[in-house]
Chain A
Amino acid sequence: MSLLSVRDLHVIYHTQAGPVPAVRGVDLDIAKGEVLGLAGESGCGKTTVINAILRLLPEKTKVEGTVLLNGEDVLAMKPGKLRAVRWTQASVIFQGAMHALNPVRRIGDQIVEAITIHGQAGEKEALVRAGALIEQVGLPPWRLRDYPHELSGGQRQRVMIAMSLACSPNLVIADEPTTALDVMVQAQVLKLLKDLQRELGLAMLFITHDLSVLVEVSDRLAIMYAGKVVEDGPSVPVFTEPAHPYTRALAGAFPQIGDRTFRMAPSGLPGDPPYPGDVPPGCSFHPRCPLAFEDCPKIDPDLFPAGDQRRAACLLVNRPEMARVEP
């Protein structure tokens, strides 16, 4: 059974200019111990999906669909139950998490707070557990007495990871956890996340725009564009042999060093990712798609089966004869 099961999620923000549909029907499944990578660029709705899962969206936002966490619908939970669920069953490592630490409190206090707030343990026990957590993420226990500014970016990120594990959740949602880090530190943090995931049997929802990073850490990938999932499947096949033109373009933006086809030949898409309030009709990707044909502006494709446990929302999946040879 899936640990997390999202069905037909729609999120509509309420703004001064009217309703903005940020998520337009998303299905996701994560099994226990599995890592799902969610990739997409700005405006695709991936951060909104996470906020919807834990109900962290602003008040007036309309959320429809079901989010089943351990079989219970999060969207229908009462506030008390929701608070109990947050952090103990599913925790989040937010974007820019390094700046989410309170600068005037010691690291140890903040981790302890995460534990005691959820009634998981008393103060003394919590401190012991905080020590264990901080060692698990590769920092020495005496770091608990430090203030955030005394740590480097990578070290702060490790503290955020420790905090997310404080209440032993089954699911950890990581929103761009390594974006602001150097390549070397990024590798260290990714390895840490992967090791912890294997050790603790965690399920993870890993969100980033960097497809090459995702392929390394996730078992399965889902690519989002303009509020919908446009492709999903096992990560390596999706990355190396994309079925959707957008995935192909996204993968092409991360060149393989040593591959001569990338030399002096930057590949990208014209135009920009669409603004959520202004999505093109039919297939939302068609204005930028190098393989668009006359049906694309008219029909918004569903996710069609595209191989072994793979799906892609592209008309070409069923009509490969319409694909022109790319110039």
Chain B
Amino acid sequence: MRPGLERVGTSAAVGEEPTAPPPPTDPRRIAWARRRRAFSRVAKTYRKNKMGMWGLCLLIFFVLVAIFAPLIASKAGLDPTCTCTGKAYQSPSLQFPFGTDDLGRSVFTLTVWGSRISLIVGLIATLISMVIGSLLGIAAGYYGGWLEAVLMRITDWFLVLPWLALAIVLAALLGPSLIVIIFVIGITSWPSTARIVRAQVLSVKTRSYVERARGLGATNWHLISRHVLPNVGPLILANTVLTVAGAILSETTLSFLGLGDPLSISWGTILEFAFGGGAAVAGDWWWLLPPGICIILVVLAFMMCGFALDDILNPKLRER
């Protein structure tokens, strides 16, 4: 009995007139009304969470930068042969707000355009990892038995797989590329999602309402789609947001080590060139700081949103 919630017909006599407008009677509209209400409730709670709002603002900022990159900095600036380039190793000036790199390209342009690859790779890799992790987690948790045992051993195997060594080996075999990076990140970050999802499925599976539905004669599909998934979904969402942060960091690491596509610009590759070009030794801070700070900010943004969502959606935290 939590305070602040509307109570329906408690001590009122039966048959009192309702004051709300008559609710819809069409089942589909009822389902939509429910979804709208649930969404607005989450949104309202989210808005109260300061950390979440800051994270969201930062995130929106970077996403907009990535989308509108061509309007912010001309793509031609990425081409070393462009006439718009300046002298190499220049410190920041009016013309080049973040200075120039070893090829005279504007670090500002590089940073702006680098956001695209960093974000996209992070998102795609996370998508792969989330899909695999959720499917396996739900299958293992719901069906149990030998399927669970087999899936969990597979999960454990992937959990201990050294992702760095795998990336290096694959890059050596297939040549460095974005596909390699996405693949490696995808298949090494799903195990933790799978474990979290499986734990939640196990907890939901034993709840009375799932048993009631089973007693009503529901098929496994009905139980999974209508009872397990809605109760596991929010957890997956919060976990996904946190995973993106990790994926972006991983991409940066792999690109920094030279395992990414040498022709694509991401924050990681900028750092790779900067390092390779001796920026650290020569003190070219303008080359290192912008991509570095962007990485930190984006990862921070995802984590703040993820924690805020976790706070709101994770049933264990909600019971406080």
> Residues of A at under 8 Å CB distance from B?
13, 15-18, 20, 42-43, 270-272, 274-275, 277-278, 280, 287-288
Contact = CB atoms under 8 A, between A and B. Distances in A.
Contacts of B9: 271
Contacts of B5: 17
Which residue, of B3, B5, B7, has the highest number of chain A Cβ atoms within 10 A? Answer: B3
Contacts of B1: 42-43, 275
Contacts of B13: 270-271, 287
Contacts of A280: 11
B4 A275 contact: no
B281 interface: no
B7 A278 contact: yes
B11 A272 contact: yes
Which residue, of B7, B11, B12, B13, has the highest number of chain A Cβ atoms within 10 A? Answer: B11
Interface residues of B, number: 11
B20 interface: no
B14 to A, nearest CB: 7
B11 A288 contact: yes
B11 A17 contact: no
Q: Which are the 5 A-B pairs with shortest beta-carbon distances? A: A17-B4, A15-B3, A287-B11, A274-B11, A17-B3
B10 interface: yes
Nearest to A287: B11
A287 B4 contact: no
Contacts of A275: 1, 7, 10
A271 B10 CA distance: 6
B55 to A, nearest CB: 23
A43 B1 CA distance: 9
Chain A interface, >50% SS class: loop
Contacts of A271: 9-14
A277 B3 contact: yes
Interface in B7-33: 7, 9-14
B10 A274 contact: yes
A13 B3 contact: yes
Given A20-B3, A271-B13, A275-B1, 13 more contacts: A13-B3, A17-B3, A17-B5, A42-B1, A43-B1, A271-B10, A271-B12, A274-B11, A277-B3, A278-B10, A280-B11, A287-B12, A287-B13
A43 B2 CA distance: 11
A152 B272 CA distance: 64
A117 to B, nearest CB: 27
Contact of B11 (A13, A15, A16, A278): A278
Contacts of B11: 271-272, 274, 278, 280, 287-288
Contacts of B14: 270-271
A192 B12 CA distance: 43
Contacts of A15: 3-4
A289 to B, nearest CB: 11
A272 B13 CA distance: 10
A209 B5 CA distance: 25
28 contacts: A13-B3, A15-B3, A15-B4, A16-B4, A17-B3, A17-B4, A17-B5, A18-B3, A20-B3, A43-B1, A270-B13, A270-B14, A271-B9, A271-B11, A271-B12, A271-B13, A272-B10, A272-B11, A274-B10, A274-B11, A275-B1, A277-B3, A278-B7, A278-B11, A287-B11, A287-B12, A287-B13, A288-B11
A1 B14 CA distance: 48
Nearest to B3: A15
Nearest to A43: B1
A18 B4 CA distance: 8
Nearest to B7: A275
A43 B12 CA distance: 16
Contacts of A278: 7, 10-11
B10 A16 contact: no
Nearest to A279: B11
A272 B1 CA distance: 12
Nearest to B48: A16
A249 to B, nearest CB: 14
A89 B106 CA distance: 77
Nearest to A42: B1
Nearest to A16: B4
Nearest to B12: A287
A216 to B, nearest CB: 29
Contacts of A288: 11
Contacts of B12: 271, 287
Contacts of A287: 11-13
A225 to B, nearest CB: 11
Which residue, of B1, B7, B10, B13, has the highest number of chain A Cβ atoms within 10 A? Answer: B10
A282 to B, nearest CB: 12
Contacts of A16: 3-4
A127 to B, nearest CB: 37
A17 B3 CA distance: 6
A234 to B, nearest CB: 30
